[in-house]
Amino acid sequence: MTHRINRQVRLKSRAVGIPQAEHFEIVNVPISDLGDNEVLVRNIYLSVEPAMRGWVSDVANYSEPVPVGSVMRAFAVGRVEASRHSDFRPGEFVTGMFGWQDYAAVDVKVIQRKITETDLPISTSLGVLGLNGLTAYFGLLEVGQPKTGETVVVSTAAGAVGSCVGQIAKIKGCRTVGITGGPEKTQICRDEFRYDTAIDYKTDNLDLALAETCSEGIDVYYDNTAGTISDAVLKHLKVGARIVICGTASIANWEPIPEGPRVERHLLVKRARMQGFLILDYTDRYTEALRELTQWVRQGLIQYREDILEGIEHAPGSIAGLYRSENFGKRLIQIAPQE
Amino acid sequence: MTHRINRQVRLKSRAVGIPQAEHFEIVNVPISDLGDNEVLVRNIYLSVEPAMRGWVSDVANYSEPVPVGSVMRAFAVGRVEASRHSDFRPGEFVTGMFGWQDYAAVDVKVIQRKITETDLPISTSLGVLGLNGLTAYFGLLEVGQPKTGETVVVSTAAGAVGSCVGQIAKIKGCRTVGITGGPEKTQICRDEFRYDTAIDYKTDNLDLALAETCSEGIDVYYDNTAGTISDAVLKHLKVGARIVICGTASIANWEPIPEGPRVERHLLVKRARMQGFLILDYTDRYTEALRELTQWVRQGLIQYREDILEGIEHAPGSIAGLYRSENFGKRLIQIAPQE
């Protein structure tokens, strides 16, 4: 085992703005021996997230920046190949922050969970039954607090988080309006993710479309973009609206902070609330949420899409692709068969 | 009674931005006879509020704009002179939306309350024991939710609302930092309103001063200004911070909406909340809050200042003066003796 090759995708340099393929390099190293309480995981799917832009930036953030020269931080799901801890046995599937690499020799503390919903593809553990689903779940239900009959607007509505937000809102009896880009994603929003209305911000006049669709006002806005999409949404808030700040995909660079229309007047007149949200604050409630999400997926109440790139050589350019919106659904890189 | 003169300050035209003296005119009219359930109030103090800018604007707002040609909408406190309702008797002091005029013949529904704390000057019913105190009370305690030991930052810290916010925060065991303009107001903040620190935004480097004073971060920001003061404060939030959007005094004109640094990243990284607040949403809890505020004023735990202009002829220019920050404390116009 120790003589097999481990391919690692390492951070080569810091990007200004969106990290591109050139900011990473792939190196081959031997697999290290296991220490006490360590497990060797053969990664099968690697995750690609919008948040990775923040992870490789040295701008103040909610996590330490990935050091230049290190393996890229990433969630992954894989199979236990060897174990020096009694809780884990070869053949079991586990998820965790295993990095963009073939093999991870990690302390068991790094393992997030053992996959038990074996009737579903293990790739779901990185998307709809992983952080994307959890982000949708807690962001919408805890921060957005939607009530039956309310209008919920979602930006990046066809994305891994957005699509799940829309469907959970639907399960909770809300009217859902998805904002996405392009005719194909608009159609997916309507047909697969069951949005009551889908708006194509690239061709529709967003302000007019919102005025028509949400003539009574917006109760909850789940914001994955910031920028001009949010500027338009904020004009249509209802009294008591809640805005969930989950991501800022449309802002290429926060250094320096870009300008936009001030929000205070909207918040004041509508007594609205705008609140930032980080999924890592909810770790002790993941199990409860995953149980419910798994049930909804099994019942077909939550549909999901995956965008699977084949081969680790796609990893370096995969973040930039997300910001070009080239993916349909949760982006993953498959680097080994599930069997 | 019907032949006495009633001087009324009427809205003459709409302002772009801050209303000036020229947007009002004073006219003399007879006092109308009383109908059933009506009371004639002899106004003694008229209130002047920053919110009046919004009341005379036809931009979307939380109240109908004052019609051009009408008496200026205003809170006032006065003495009942005549009554056609059994709940009110001549000689009693009452507050309500009586307008900028000598006499108001109003339905009893317009009366907000009868003044019972007769040991205190009746002018307090328009300030610290009126909407200013209530705004400070509910905005800080309900929206800001300060906890013992937390750091609370207040803008327009020496103002009628701000000074009360700082002192309530102090009562609740918080560390208080006041932002105000000029050496005199800075000193008042320290000496009278017991702020732990007072920052003069006109001479201090606000960003540096906040970095020094709030090196552990800001838990609650009670925002009366928006604009560049808030832009600086937002850089120093603590994880879980609450921002109470109470007023936007530093923004002269919201049409079109001015630009400023986008806030989403601050809110996201700090999981912070920014929430607009309108005191009128708390009307059914005024009595409870006034009881507590009155107690604090009697105990000397809340100090207050009043800026009293003598004579109704000062009313037309009094709003613009507020926005020039020429007042020290709650601005009132006295138009009759209390006796």
User: What pLDDT does B1 receive?
Assistant: 45
Q: Concatenated DSSP letters for B322-339?
A: HHTT--SSEEEEE-S---
In whole angstroms, give the CA distance from residue B10 to residue B27: 7
Instruction: Give the per-residue pLDDT at B50.
Output: 86
Helix residue ranges per DSSP H, chain A: 52-55, 131-138, 160-171, 183-191, 206-213, 227-233, 264-269, 286-298, 315-323
Q: Is the pLDDT of residue B269 over 50?
A: yes
CA distances to A166, A221, B271 from A153, rounded to whole Å, are: 8, 5, 20
Under DSSP, the state recorded for A13 is S
The C-alpha of B61 sits at a distance from chain A's nearest C-alpha, in angstroms, of 6
Name the residue among A246, A257, A259 with its Cβ closest to that of B265: A257
**Could you report the per-residue pLDDT of A205-225, keeping only the tens digit for each?**
999 999 999 999 999 999 999
Task: Give me the percent of chain B exceeding a pLDDT of 90.
Answer: 86
Instruction: Yes or no: say if A74 and A46 are a contact pair by the CB < 8 Å rule.
Output: yes
Distance from CA of A254 to the nearest CA of B (A): 8
Q: From the candidates A264, A266, A275, which should be mutated to test the interface with B, based on the most B CB atoms within 10 A? A: A264
Interchain contact, B257 vs A254, CB within 8 Å? no
B273 and A275 in contact by Cβ < 8 A?
A: yes
Q: Taking CA atoms, what residue in B is nearest to A281? A: B271
Amino acid identity of residue A260, one-letter, is G
CB hemisphere CA count around A138 (13 angstroms): 23
B126-176 pLDDT per residue, tens: 999 999 999 999 999 999 999 999 999 999 999 999 999 999 999 999 999
- Which pLDDT score is estimated for A156? 94
Count Cα atoms within 13 angstroms, Cβ side, for B109. 2
> How many CB atoms within 10 Å of residue A64?
9
What does the pLDDT read at residue B24? 98
Alpha-carbon distance of B111 to B96, in angstroms, equals: 5
Over the stretch A34-74, which tens digit does the pLDDT of each residue have? 999 999 999 999 999 988 998 998 875 667 899 999 999 99
Contact between B254 and A267 using a beta-carbon 8 Å cutoff: no
A contact test, residue of B231, B265, B279, B283 with most A CBs within 10 A: B265
Q: Give pLDDT tens digits for B200-247.
A: 999 999 999 999 999 999 999 999 999 999 999 999 999 999 999 999
Interface of B with A (CB under 8 A): 60-62, 223, 226, 230, 245-248, 251, 254, 257-278, 281
Measured CA to CA, the distance from residue B161 to residue A287 in angstroms comes to: 45
- Give the architecture-level CATH label for domain B131-280: 3-Layer(aba) Sandwich (3.40)
Band of the pLDDT at A1, cuts 50, 70, 90?
Answer: very low
Q: Give A266's contacts in chain B (Cβ within 8 Å).
A: 276
Residues 6+ apart with CB under 8 A from A58: A14, A65
Q: Which of A248, A269, A277 sits opposite B60 (nearest CB)?
A: A269
Quick one: pLDDT at residue A2? 45
Which candidate from A257, A271, A275 shows the least CB-CB separation from B261? A257
Task: Name which of B16-20, B71-75, B292-296 the model is least confident about.
Answer: B16-20
Average pLDDT in chain B: 94
User: Into which CATH architecture does domain B5-127+305-334 fall?
Assistant: Alpha-Beta Complex (3.90)
pLDDT of residue B3 exceeding 80, the answer is: no
pLDDT at B62 over 90: no
The answer on pLDDT for B39 being more than 80 is: yes
What integer pLDDT is reported at residue B297 of this predicted model?
97
What is the reported pLDDT for B177?
A: 98
CA angle, B212 as apex, B206 and B213 as ends, to 5°? Answer: 85
Structure tokens at B186: 């800075």
* List of chain B residues whose C-beta atoms are within 8 Å of the C-beta of residue A259: 259-262
Question: What count of Cα atoms within 13 Å lies in the side-chain half-sphere of residue A188?
Answer: 22
The rounded distance, in Å, linking the Cα atoms of A325 and A3 is 39
Q: Domains of chain A: which residue ranges?
A: 5-127+305-334, 131-280
Check pLDDT > 90 for residue B307.
yes
Interface test with B, best of A265, A282, A283 (most B CBs within 10 A): A265
Which residues, listed in sequence order, are joined to residue B144 by a DSSP beta bridge?
Answer: none
Answer yes or no: is pLDDT of B193 > 80. Answer: yes
Report CB contact under 8 Å: A275, B277: no
Chain A hits for B245, CB-CB cut-off 8 Å, are 264, 267-268
Give the closest of A62, A265, A276 to B257, CB-based: A265
Nearest to A271 among B264, B268, B277 (CB): B277
C-alpha angle A21-A23-A24 in degrees, rounded to nearest 5 = 75
* Residue A160 pLDDT: 92
pTM summary value: 0.90
What is the mean pLDDT of the segment spanning B176-182?
Answer: 97
Average pLDDT, chain A: 94
Per-residue confidence (pLDDT) for residue A61, from 0 to 100: 65
Measured CA to CA, the distance from residue B180 to residue B162 in angstroms comes to 10
Using one digit for the tens of pLDDT, what is the confidence trace for A227-279?
999 999 999 999 999 999 999 888 878 889 999 999 999 999 999 999 999 99
Tokens of B313: 């002829």
Q: Cα dist. A229→A151, A226, A249, B164, B273 in Å? A: 17, 6, 11, 38, 20
